[in-house]
Amino acid sequence: MDRRKFIKDSALASSLFFVPSFVKAFESVATEKLGYRRLVIVQLAGGNDGLNTIIPHNNDVYYNARPRLAITKDIIRLNDNLGFHPSLAPLRSLFDNGELSIINNVGYPNPVRSHFRSMDIWQTASDSDEYLQSGWLGRYLDAHGQKPYNAIEMDEQLSLAMKGEHFNGIATNNYKALYKTAKDPFFKSVLNHYNDTHLSEHNLGYLYQTMIEAKSSAKYIYEKTKVKLSQQDYPQNNFAKQLKNVAQFVHSDLDTKVFYTSLGGFDTHANQQNKQSRLLEQYAESISAFVKDLKRNETFEDTLILTFSEFGRRVKQNAANGTDHGAANNVFIIGKNLKTAGFYNNLASLTDLDTNGDLKYEIDFRSVYATILSKWMNVSTKGIINSKQEVLHFI
């Protein structure tokens, strides 16, 4: 949508022209049009066990370290050394078609094994001893976004990854409810009391500006989204619902560059096998349905899907038939025209571990981000990824 046309057509246009500081702030946002390529993020929250996801089925060290936890039956062998967990069977066709790249041993120096801190590191693209208040996708929006709906998280709350220094994405798991809330009389009443003085105040002005942007974004999403039944069948779970909504937004041609989704429950300290098996099944079946939906509507070629978890698990099982917090893990990249499909690299040594008994990282996760930004989003990493990172070759 053209920025000038948006201002002209917006229900808030008449008031915006009388708020010079807001107009100035709006003008400062980068005006280039976002490209057609979309990025879908899938966060496996809790620390998914990568060794039971991509299984070293020909490695005795794996089986000796996990006498009760190792996967021994129905492994989907992808090559002589590595294979899928049986629950990932729906992804086999993606692997065979060259539409899946598996990057092993992804992590960062001096890994942190706290869920909250490690997730912050992944979401902000910081060093392990660096504390940032903005996310890598939020900083992308700061430089290249126009409206909050350029990045949508399928949740009630916005992740740190989607928060910029000056610009945020928008969070919603029900765009109709969001629109209804934005029309609430109390919400309207609050906005009726903003003025130029308020907008000149740092904190209050930011609050009012955010509310104005949220209201206009809710209106845009509601009016733009085509209400039609998807021809694709999705599993009956919350993660699949998120992806189905993303597909509906994509097929409605929303000017949205980034979608953020999540599947939780991967903190498997005890009785891991059944729990992880169920979660991986939800993930694989939902992703498979999502890709089929995109292909049916000819939007898969313009969509890249990144799946990550904040850390892997310890190589050795614990006494509760589970695994404790680890470090390096695998990352999945799904897309149509991948340069390096299949396995991007080999699994790290299961004997040459760090002092905590974890896999040593080989690839910095920020290199994955830098590659996506430069090769898929076609933007510079300057101001988004603070450290200099190697560009990889999966795209």
Contact, 57 vs 75, CB < 8 A? yes
Q: Which residues of 328-361 are buried (b: 16+ CB within 10 A; e: fewer)?
A: bbbbbbbbbebebbebbbebbebeebeeeebbeb
Q: What is the pLDDT of residues 176-225, one digit of tens each?
A: 887 676 666 655 555 555 555 555 555 555 555 666 677 778 888 888 88
pLDDT at 25: 43
Alpha-carbon dihedral sign for residues 248, 171, 242, 122: positive
**In angstroms, rounded to a whole number, what is the distance separating the alpha carbons of residues 284 and 292?**
12
Instruction: Locate 49 and state its tokens.
Output: 């066990």
Could you tell me the mean pLDDT of each successive run of 10 residues in the chain, 395 residues long?
Answer: 45 39 40 66 98 98 98 98 98 98 98 97 98 97 92 95 93 82 59 55 56 74 77 94 95 94 98 98 98 96 98 98 98 96 98 96 98 97 95 96
Q: What does the H/E/C string look like for the chain?
A: CCHHHHHHHCCCHHHHCCCHHHHHHHHHCCCCCCCCCEEEEEEECCCCCHHHCEECCCCHHHHHHCCCCCCCCCCEECCCCCEECHHHHHHHHHHHCCCEEEEEEEECCCCCCCHHHHHHHHHHCCCCCCCCCCCHHHHHHHHHCCCHHHEEECCCCCCHHHECCCCECEECCCHHHHHHHHCCHHHHHHHHCCCHHHHHCHHHHHHHHHHHHHHHHHHHHHHHCCCCCCCCCCCCCHHHHHHHHHHHHHHCCCCCCEEEEEECCCCCCCCHHHHHHHHHHHHHHHHHHHHHHHHHCCCHHHEEEEEECCCCECCCCCCCCCCCECCCEEEEEECCCCCCCEECCCCCCCCCCCCCCCCCCCEEHHHHHHHHHHHHCCCCCCCCCCCCCCCCCCC
**In angstroms, rounded to a whole number, what is the distance separating the alpha carbons of residues 81 and 54?**
10
CB atoms within 10 A of CB 186: 8
pLDDT at 201: 58
Contact, 345 vs 103, CB < 8 A? yes
Instruction: Locate 238 and state its tokens.
Output: 């919350």
| Residue-averaged pLDDT of the chain | 87
pTM passes above 0.75 = yes
pLDDT at 277: 98
| Nearest CA among 67, 69, 64, 65 for reference residue 52 | 69
Q: What is the pLDDT of residues 112-155, one digit of tens each?
A: 999 999 999 999 999 999 999 999 999 999 999 988 899 999 99
Q: How far is CA 9 from CA 13, 22, 131, 216, in A?
A: 7, 17, 40, 11
**In angstroms, rounded to a whole number, what is the distance separating the alpha carbons of residues 280 and 284?**
6
In the sheet that holds 83-84, the strands lie side by side as 54-55, 83-84, 76-77
